[in-house]
A = this chain, B = another copy of it.
Amino acid sequence: MATYGLVEYADANPEVRAVYDDIMSTRKVDWINNFWKAIAHDPALLKRTWESIKQVMAPGALDPLVKELLYVAVSVTNGCGYCIASHSASAREQGMTPEMFHELMSVVGMANETNRLANGYQVEIDDAFKASSQ
């Protein structure tokens, strides 16, 4: 179980409820997933994290599905079980097909492999890839 248990809506103070309400209306869902209930013991952490996520995951130069795929890629690389489960579900809601998921995993797998090969062979950055020349 979560370290301090979960803060259910019925037991939440007004500050926490306001965040819960905003999560549900922004995401067009009628429930709150455990992540938010677990961190809601610290309303400032809850509010800051939600507002950052809301800002970051909104449509912009990248569309929301791509952002969810990126979230899954990071979560898989970090091995965060909760995050893999929750963001895979979110990506499916955003339209991720099984084919997209398989390609996502294929890229994540190869990137993790070649990251280590670049480390292990101590490869120097090509001048053409040096930043800020673009």
Contacts and interface: CB of A to CB of B under 8 A. Distances in A.
A115 B103 CA distance: 16
B114 A49 contact: yes
Contact of A117 (B5, B49, B89): B49
Contacts of A111: 70-71, 74-75, 78, 83, 87
Interface in A30-83: 31, 33-35, 38-39, 41-42, 44-45, 48-49, 52-53, 55-57, 60-62, 66-67, 69-83
Interface residues of A, number: 85
Interface in A98-127: 98-126
A83 B111 CA distance: 9
A108 B42 CA distance: 15
A1 interface: yes
Interface of A: 1-5, 31, 33-35, 38-39, 41-42, 44-45, 48-49, 52-53, 55-57, 60-62, 66-67, 69-89, 92, 97-126, 128-132, 134
Would you list the 5 A-B pairs with minimal beta carbon distance, nearest first? A42-B102, A74-B111, A61-B99, A113-B113, A80-B115
